[in-house]
Each structure stands twice: as structure tokens, then as C-alpha cells.
Amino acid sequence: MINVLFVCLGNICRSPMAEALFRNLVKKENLTSKIAVDSAATSSWQIGFPPHEGTLDILKKYKISSEGLIGRTLKKEDFWRFDYIVGMDESNLKNIYRITNKPNHPKIIRLLDLTRYRKDIPDPFFTGDFDETYRLVSSGCRALLNKIRSEHNL
């Protein structure tokens, strides 16, 4: 099983959106027996909470299930559980490096570095623009799935 973890600051906006979107892509490609998906936060503010209403609304708009999305904190041992740890922005990456004690490890990547955008995904908790976040996360998730398919001959 290939394990993918999406990470953002609070695990209520970007990373659960990426988890749901990526899980949907994996399902459409009939890869659910090969790829597992989760998400986590680098903070502990929203642990145990469902995603932000804006994230839930955008997932509903695109008919993507939000079932099972609950905020949790990234743990040091997640480094060993996951094959890909995907941050939404540079700040997330720095926090992932600090929490896992694995700075600049190749399994830790910024999602949009896999795309033509090569930038941070703005946090819609602060910008309010869940449509932009969805567009960027969607592009990144498609690129990540292509990367995994290529690296694992799927």
C-alpha cells in the first residue's frame, strides 16, 4: 500500500480538501487497493473538528465526499507510516521537517512543486477564496497521482 499524507496548518481547509480530492481521484482510477490517503495539521488548534464550512461547501459543489475528515496533528511517527508527505506551503514544510526531524527529505514535498505553478497554496481560512484553493489543490493532486503512478508502475 502506498500511503499519502497531506499537511497544512490546521487540517480544516487545504489538507482535508486535498485528502478528499485525492481519494476521489484514486477511486476514479480504481487504485483504492493500492493507495491510502490521510491528512494532518502542524498545529493542534482544530484537532477532532470537521473541515471548515468553506471546504465542505466546495467539496459538495464538486460532488466529492467529505466522509471521515476529522482534524488531527502530524506526529513524528507519521514519517515512517507515509510514503509521501505533502505540505501546502513553505511554512508547512518547515513545520513538517521540525516535527519529523527529517529536514529536506525527498518524501516531504510541497504540492504545487509538482505543477507549473511552483508556489504555496494560499490558506483560504485567511483569504476566503476556497475556489482558488480547490483549483490549485486539484492541479496538485492530479500531478501527484501521475508521479505516484510513474514511480510505482500503476
CA 94 to chain centre: 15
CA distances from 110 to 25, 32, 89 (A): 19, 23, 6
b/e sequence 56-86, b meaning 16+ C-beta within 10 Å: bebbeeeebebeebebbbbeeebbeebebbb
Give the catalytic positions in this structure: 8, 14, 123
Interatomic CA distance for residues 30 and 97, integer angstroms: 32
CA distances from 97 to 21, 106, 131 (A): 25, 11, 29
Q: Are strands 108-110 and 2-8 parallel, antiparallel or unpaired?
A: unpaired
